[in-house]
């Protein structure tokens, strides 16, 4: 076996390695360097994410109102005066749908705070909710009633599945 000599740090360390392991040694050194956390003054500390309200309050005051705006797109009210379609018709109506979808999409980030994201199934449901909320947002921005209505149905299924899984029904 041919031996090679490598100098890692001038005048400090001189090691002799078999030729076949040279690549492995370099790979380990580079890998360790890349995996080492930043410790310098320029390192940005992680933001202190934490929930301010319990999950029941978060659902009641953030998620449910935002989702309800999207669900209302498929709504019909029947009263003494007849049947009333709740789908958006004016720019103001559409702006409410856009706002609800944007709120719901961004609220999924708050569902991923470490104190809330305790298991892989929670993360799965939150990711599905985020994808659907983003689709609702894009469709609402485009004033695409059919797509928002389809996402509304999908949201209903995602929420119901999550609530069943965590025994909230």
Rounded Cα gap, residues 53 and 36, in angstroms: 35
Which pLDDT does position 36 carry in this prediction? 52
At residue 12, the pLDDT reads 40
Confidence at residue 45, expressed as pLDDT on a 0 to 100 scale = 72
Residue-level pLDDT at 145 = 95
Whether the model clears a pTM of 0.75, i.e. scores above it, the answer is no
pLDDT value at position 15?
46
Residues 76-123 pLDDT 10s: 899 999 999 999 999 999 999 999 999 999 999 999 998 898 899 999
**Within the chain, which residues score under 70 in pLDDT?**
1-43, 46-47, 169
Query: In the beta sheet, which residues pair with residue 83?
Result: 78
CA distance 132 to 117: 19
Q: Which domains does the chain have, with CATH numbers?
A: 3-35 (no CATH), 55-165 (1.20.120)
Nearest alpha-carbon partner for 158 in 121, 126, 110, 114: 126
């Amino acid at each position: 076996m041919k031996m090679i000599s490598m100098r890692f740090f001038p005048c400090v360390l001189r090691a002799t390695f078999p030729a076949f392991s040279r690549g492995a040694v370099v790979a380990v050194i580079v890998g360790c360097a890349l995996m080492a956390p930043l410790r310098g003054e320029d390192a940005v500390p992680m933001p202190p994410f934490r929930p301010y309200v319990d999950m029941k309050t978060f659902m009641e005051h953030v998620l449910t109102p935002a989702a309800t705006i999207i669900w209302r797109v498929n709504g019909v009210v029947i009263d003494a005066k007849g049947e009333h379609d709740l789908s958006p018709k004016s720019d103001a109506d559409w702006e409410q749908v856009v706002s609800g979808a944007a709120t719901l999409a961004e609220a999924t980030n708050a569902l991923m705070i470490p104190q809330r994201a305790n298991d892989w199934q929670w993360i799965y449901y939150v990711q599905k909710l985020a994808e659907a909320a983003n689709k609702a947002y894009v469709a609402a921005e485009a004033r695409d009633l059919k797509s928002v209505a389809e996402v509304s149905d999908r949201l209903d299924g995602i929420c119901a599945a999550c609530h069943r899984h965590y025994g909230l029904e």
